Amino acid sequence: MLWTASQVCRRFSTSSHYYQNKLKLAIIGQSLFGQEVYTNLRKHGHKVVGVFTVPDKDGKADPLAVAAEKDGTPVFKFPRWRVKGKPIPDVVEAYKAVGAELNVMPFCSQFIPMNIIDLPKHGSIIYHPSILPLHRGASAINWTLIHGDKKAGFTVFWADDGLDTGPILLQRECAVEPNDTVDTLYNRFLFPEGIKAMVESVQLIADGKAPRIPQTEEGASYEGIQKKSNAKINLAQSAKAIHDWIRGHDKVPGAWIAINGQPVTLYGSSLFGGSAPAGQPLEIEGASQPGLVTKNGLILYGNDGKALLVKNLQFEDGKMIPASKYFSSGESSSVELTDDEKKMAEEIRNIWKGILSNVQAIEDTTDFFKSGAASMDVVRLVEEVKQKCPSVQLQSEDVYMATTFQDFIQMFVRKLRGEDQEEELVIDYVKVNNMTVKMPYQCFINGKFEDAENGKTYETINPTDGKVICKVSYASVEDVDRAVAAAKDAFDNGPWGKMNPRDRGSLLYKLADLMEEHQEELATIESIDSGAVYTLALKTHVGMSIQTFRYFAGWCDKIQGKTIPINQARPNRNLTFTKKEPLGVCAIIIPWNYPLMMLAWKSAACLAAGNTLVLKPAQVTPLTALKFAELTVKAGIPKGVINILPGSGGMVGQRLSDHPHIRKLGFTGSTPIGKQIMKSCALSNLKKVSLELGGKSPLIIFSDLDFNHIQYSVYFNKGENCIAAGRLFVEESIHDEFISRVVEEIKKMKIGDPLDRSTDHGPQNHKAHLDKLLEYCSTGMKEGATLVYGGRQVGRPGYFMEPTVFTDVEDHMFIAKEESFGPVMVVSKFKDGDVDGVLQRANDTEYGLASGVFTRDINKAMYVSERLEAGTVFINTYNKTDVASPFGGFKQSGFGKDLGEDALLEYLKTKAVTVEY
């Protein structure tokens, strides 16, 4: 089958599914999971003829309903499907009217009658969060942890009258980590992989390949949702069994113990190794020995002498405290509120009143839970307070720890002032579009934000208006030496170097979760500091950064060596094996076009391999890197593991290249600077180097294509894209029409403020770059190339440049050979059918980062892809990178890889060990 450009060029297409059979689907369910399944099924070409979800709650529609209504999909919100065991006729008729061929039930809390389940041609499939037949029922994830299972997973099965006893269609498994919780399992595996599996299952059914594997009764359990009365912890067992019981009941219903005759619920358990820190003994009923209240929390001991650590305690009245505060929970002095804080307190009092509508007046002594509040009310309180004051990072647990209004206000004000933090990480605030964005601005060394040694700062500029965002510390050589020393100590002596790889992976997963939690803030910072359009910053700059950390977090415990048979001199016997070991302290230098994503591409692999690092962001875009540093502290990354130094390449970058204690340097930037770095690394201590350098990526466009979306190969991220198509070769017969279509699309692009959600094209990164681009265009015109469109600065404040098109570009011209790194399309013709001739021209460059070809002819596409001299070749698509696929160039575009398994090898060394036995 031949490909057409329109079929494979869609920006978000994943494409092999495009040609497969499609079904008419009814989605029955709810929640964000249901929404994602719905969205992905539609992306894969299936037609959703109806969505059946739950009624609105408190005036808010379920996420599934929101997505479907936005798309114009018919939505039905039935409170129930049957009464007294019998289907409701009107509901059944409404369902029948949509004409579904398959029911897809991604998350369904309602009981669906069997005449609905069996009605469609293909029946119904449903998602269940366990590896059936084990752990049937509503608390399947909980029981996976309570039982201490080594594996978790989910099942997609054919729904039946039992709703979890029907034949199995598909199953997926994952390992259960020692400190996994319901939340971590769900976020890491059950949610993202479950969405993929539901889509895969539907396609198997559409293609007639879906199995029906009968479930056995052997090993099946039917544990129901635990009641609080049954959740008491049996302390006469191993520490691991106690830990499993606690994490399996966290957050609902909560596992508890008795202290002084009163029940106390435990949350946030983790296995504890090593010697216990100093603490105060605590007698606990039924325990083999007293617990220990330490600065880290409550240490409990099993009957095997091993220990676990509990972070939080909750008492009968609903109040929750850090376990470390058990003996001092009532000792904190109250803070005096300022006038502004008093006004905020009254606004919060109104929020409480709106939630606790049954309470006549909210007094200082009013208790949130004793007044009838439930868990959903906690979420509402947190979200409404966040709306009033977005700068306060409020969590659900904070409500449990401050249950009276007076205590809640005291807690809130302390957070507002930053007094709840062990260290003050955030110094400066920037007001953007009425949003307060918290951005650190100092060097980050050994877990602290500090001024540069010499106190120097520089201004970072918002390219949208040319105004100063804030002043940033300008790191010195002494700062580099301090950061390297901290990283070396963290590697040699700190917990990071001794950490179990799975624990290291857990910290990276937590870091990714925090990045996702702060994704809107990160995207805003990225937009104002780099000029990236907000929507692109959110999806790609930040979104792919999160994906990258999650991907490499999964690699942490999969780095392994080999056993090798060697020639054995008899009578001796030998065993030879290899080990993959971290290198030590690594330096990373990143560019300004994707500040956060380039940080993630290199540092995630570096950290997953077990190294420590010192990172220098680009001088003009330091802010997301410094915000990232703040999140690493919240994630629990040990001090010294990550150090970030804003400043100049000539000073910081050079010292990193020369430093004798750095064992690896990863660099993305220009080819001339890459050569200088490589020379310095060789002359200093022969440190390992990986370089991702300049490009002039050719894109060959044959006449047998559709014209849709070609332009984004050049104008994506304002053209500030290392793999942007630097030169387009267009077959002669379609050249003029192609140019006409491109210009027509460019004219539709909205140029403006990158924070405006409707903007397509933001400002160039900084003034010097804009000036360089204007000079680039001027040179092209002087050499005789035809300027078809653009080539000028936009007449408004900031560093905006018009998307530009040049034609009649000859091979000898400057713009044919040199990268613009901006929104400049450079187009050359080639004769119809001259495949080998255009290949020779495309490869006539010293760069080899990326390339592309557009054609319906798959044989021609493969022929061209085999002969293009580049590290990445795109066929009928462009810019489609993925965290699992290696990325890097040939020739003077550098060497070494980012992303994928290959990236790990850049940050590892191989040790061979031979044993005679």
Intra-chain end-to-end CA distance of the chain, in Å: 59
Fold of 698-892: Aldehyde Dehydrogenase; Chain A, domain 2 (3.40.309)
Strand partners, 259: 262
**CA 860/CA 406 separation, integer angstroms:** 73
**CA 620/CA 591 separation, integer angstroms:** 9
Residues 195 and 41 sit within 8 Å (Cβ to Cβ)? no
- Residues at the binding site are 110-112, 164, 590-592, 616-619, 649-654, 669-670, 772, 819-821
**CA 580/CA 556 separation, integer angstroms:** 12
The DSSP bridge pattern shows strands 725-731 and 824-830 to be: parallel
Helix axis angle for 501-517 and 519-530, nearest 10°, is: 70
User: How far, in Å, are 258, 296, 316, 417, 441 from residue 263 at the CA level?
Assistant: 5, 22, 7, 34, 46
- CA nearest neighbour of 146 among 244, 70, 229: 244
Helix axis angle for 191-206 and 31-43, nearest 10°, is: 40
Strand partners, 68: none
The DSSP bridge pattern shows strands 612-616 and 642-644 to be: parallel
**CA 583/CA 559 separation, integer angstroms:** 14
Tokens 């255009």 sit at which residue? 838
Environment class of residue 545 by beta-carbon count within 10 Å: exposed (0-12), middle (13-18) or buried (19+)?
buried
User: Residue 51 has what DSSP assignment?
Assistant: E
| Number of helical (H) and strand (E) elements in the chain, helices listed first | 30, 40
Residues 250 and 313 sit within 8 Å (Cβ to Cβ)? no
Long-range contacts made by residues 426-434, C-beta under 8 angstroms, separation at least 24? 426/630, 428/470, 429/391, 430/469, 430/470, 430/528, 432/524, 432/528, 432/755, 433/755
**CA 259/CA 315 separation, integer angstroms:** 10
**CA 670/CA 657 separation, integer angstroms:** 15
Domain residue extents for the chain: 24-207, 228-325, 339-417, 429-692, 698-892
Choosing from 692, 720, 731, 869, which is the catalytic residue? 692
- Residues at the binding site for NADP(+) are 590-592, 616-619, 649-654, 669-670, 772, 819-821
Choosing from 122, 128, 135, 761, which is the catalytic residue? 128
Q: Which amino acid is at 292?
A: L
Environment class of residue 864 by beta-carbon count within 10 Å: exposed (0-12), middle (13-18) or buried (19+)?
buried
**CA 117/CA 163 separation, integer angstroms:** 10
Q: What's residue 222's pLDDT?
A: 67
Contacts of 387 (CB under 8 A, 6+ apart): none
Tokens 């008093």 sit at which residue? 342
Helix axis angle for 405-417 and 339-355, nearest 10°, is: 130
H or E element that contains 589: strand 585-589
Contacts of 10 (CB under 8 A, 6+ apart): 708, 709
CATH 2.50.20.10 assigned to domain 339-417? The reply is: no
Is position 766 annotated as part of the catalytic site?
Answer: no
Q: What would the pLDDT profile of 259-297 be if each residue is shown by its tens digit? A: 888 899 898 888 887 666 678 899 998 888 899 998 778
Q: What's residue 119's pLDDT?
A: 93
Taking phi over 0 as left and psi of -120 to 50 as alpha, with beta for the rest, 108 belongs to beta
- Give phi and psi for 594, each to the nearest 5: -130, 75
Q: What's residue 515's pLDDT?
A: 96
Can you point out the beta strands (E) in 283-422?
A: 291-294, 297-301, 307-314, 320-322
User: How far, in Å, are 26, 190, 712, 767, 811 from residue 105 at the CA level?
Assistant: 8, 15, 37, 53, 58
- CA nearest neighbour of 770 among 464, 325, 512: 464
- CA nearest neighbour of 899 among 683, 606, 515, 578: 606
> Which portions of the chain are predicted below pLDDT 50?
1-19, 422-433
**CA 688/CA 581 separation, integer angstroms:** 14
Token couple for 73: 């999909």
Fold of 228-325: Methionyl-tRNA Fmet Formyltransferase; Chain A, domain 2 (3.10.25)
Contacts of 398 (CB under 8 A, 6+ apart): 382, 411, 415
- CA nearest neighbour of 78 among 96, 105, 51: 51
User: Residue 372 has what DSSP assignment?
Assistant: T
- CA nearest neighbour of 461 among 762, 765, 721, 795: 765
Return the CATH superfamily for domain 429-692: Aldehyde Dehydrogenase; Chain A, domain 1 (3.40.605.10)
Residues 239 and 302 sit within 8 Å (Cβ to Cβ)? yes
- CA nearest neighbour of 21 among 48, 54, 53, 46: 46
**pTM summary value:** 0.58
Contacts of 34 (CB under 8 A, 6+ apart): 27, 53, 62, 63, 64, 106, 107
**CA 13/CA 10 separation, integer angstroms:** 5
Helix axis angle for 519-530 and 595-608, nearest 10°, is: 130
The DSSP bridge pattern shows strands 124-128 and 850-854 to be: unpaired
- CA nearest neighbour of 726 among 804, 835, 640: 804
Contacts of 284 (CB under 8 A, 6+ apart): 235, 257, 258, 259, 290, 291, 300
- CA nearest neighbour of 322 among 411, 226, 448: 411
H runs (alpha helix) in 845-886:
858-867
Is position 692 annotated as part of the catalytic site?
Answer: yes
Contacts of 460 (CB under 8 A, 6+ apart): 468, 469, 470, 471, 472, 529, 620, 621, 622, 623
Contacts of 472 (CB under 8 A, 6+ apart): 441, 442, 457, 458, 459, 460, 622, 623, 626, 646
Name the CA radius of gyration of the chain, rounded.
30
Token couple for 522: 């990160």
Choosing from 443, 470, 681, 722, which is the catalytic residue? 722
Is position 128 annotated as part of the catalytic site?
Answer: yes
H runs (alpha helix) in 250-374:
339-355
Q: What's residue 58's pLDDT?
A: 60
- 3-class DSSP string for 621-677: CCHHHHHHHHHHHHHCCCCCCEEECCCCHHHHHHHHHHCCCEEEEEEECCHHHHHHH
Residues 441 and 427 sit within 8 Å (Cβ to Cβ)? yes
**CA 46/CA 199 separation, integer angstroms:** 10
Please calculate the CA angle 171-173-177 and round it to the nearest 5 degrees. Answer: 160
Token couple for 702: 């044959």
Token couple for 906: 């850049």
- CA nearest neighbour of 600 among 659, 653, 540, 651: 540
Give, in words, the CATH class of 24-207: alpha beta
**CA 167/CA 465 separation, integer angstroms:** 61
